Amino acid sequence: MTSTWAAPGRVNLIGEHVDYNDGLVLPFALPFVTTATVSPCDGDYARVSSDQAEARHFPLATAPGEVDGWAAYVAGVVWALAQRGVELPGLDISTTSDVPLGAGLSSSASLTCAVVSAIDDELDVGLSRGELASVAREAENDYVGSPTGTMDQLAAMLCEEGSALLLDCRDLSTRAIPFSPADAGLALLLVDTQVRHELVDSEYGARRDDCRAAADELGLASLREASLERVLGMTDTRLRRRAHHVVTEIARVEQVAAILDAERPAEIGAFLTASHESLRDDFEVSCSELDMTVEAALAAGALGARMVGGGFGGCAIVLCRESEVEVVRDRLTAVYDADGRKAPTIWTPLPSPGARRVD
């Protein structure tokens, strides 16, 4: 017997760098997925294979630091399940994926969520979707050592087709928000700059530290509790900028969710652009390639655009009218060509379902 599950990558419509500040985020699932097939086997080890990397094997009694590379994410799932008292037989696990790597689209959460869902189904463990997301996050945080927040795994598990997921990272409550751009004559472009700067991991950690320090300066448990008035009165200019982004970004998520609830998606464009400006100026996680992408899209008539993900490369999203998609595409291609760069990869993804069984 085997079980096969697919789990998607995700992109965040708005709410960047606020998940680890107990904020509000609004991701949706992408049509790109990682698929994991799991079957029991004899022995006390797991054999893992991928269409993108060399096959590996590791003992079921694994511990953090014992497995590296891509297989560490799978080993982390096995370890996190064992920490919860789940007794595992030997496992054969094979994976395939079309989630772009390194683009800030949560390929790792897609992998861990697909694997844990397939194991749960195959062994009839009976975990809820929220619990499966927690196992996947523990695999990344505690086994691999990747400091992700709560958004990526919950988005992979809980998103619905034609919707974005309003997630409160303080209490983990969720609500589906209708988001179907095509129904309103709109298109959301996902633009991969194909730039990967080395700064992203170290600077991500530095921003988390800044946010923690800002909350401490304000005497708060997290920046979710901060008011704009108190933030503007902070004396440390760097921490004030970091906190200013978090507080205003959370407000933008609330405003975008309200606009989408009112079925006026064209009106969210200005908030996307404001988010980019805040990430660029207050949080300082953009880069010249992302700024160039956003500026070119807006010059071509887009309703709004912003960088997504951790920053320093990766992807941007662009909201435009369907009638202007080719104009925006052509402008982006021309700007990249004039700058001596390879043309960006551009998709028009539709909000897709979360993790599901593949028959």
Catalytic amino acids? 152
Q: Are 17 and 151 in contact (CB under 8 A)?
A: no
Instruction: Give Cβ neighbours of residue 7 (< 8 Å, ≥ 6 apart).
Output: 33, 34, 36, 109, 110, 111, 113, 114, 117, 156, 157, 354, 355
Q: Are 118 and 4 in contact (CB under 8 A)?
A: yes
Nearest-angstrom CA–CA distance, 295 and 205: 28
Q: Are 320 and 297 in contact (CB under 8 A)?
A: yes
Nearest-angstrom CA–CA distance, 243 and 207: 10
Nearest-angstrom CA–CA distance, 210 and 268: 29
Q: 88 burial class (0-12, 13-18, 19+ CB within 10 angstroms)?
A: middle
Q: Are 263 and 178 in contact (CB under 8 A)?
A: yes
Task: Give, as one character, the DSSP assignment of residue 359.
Answer: -
User: Residue 228 forms beta bridges with which residues?
Assistant: none
Nearest to 154, CA basis, from 146, 164, 143, 145: 164
Amino acid at 310: G
Judging by DSSP bridges, how do beta strands 45-50 and 90-97 pair with one another?
parallel
Handedness of CA 191, 197, 198, 201 (dihedral sign): negative
Nearest-angstrom CA–CA distance, 284 and 80: 34
Give the tokens for residue 16. Answer: 């960047």
Q: 125 burial class (0-12, 13-18, 19+ CB within 10 angstroms)?
A: middle
Give the tokens for residue 183. Answer: 């129904």
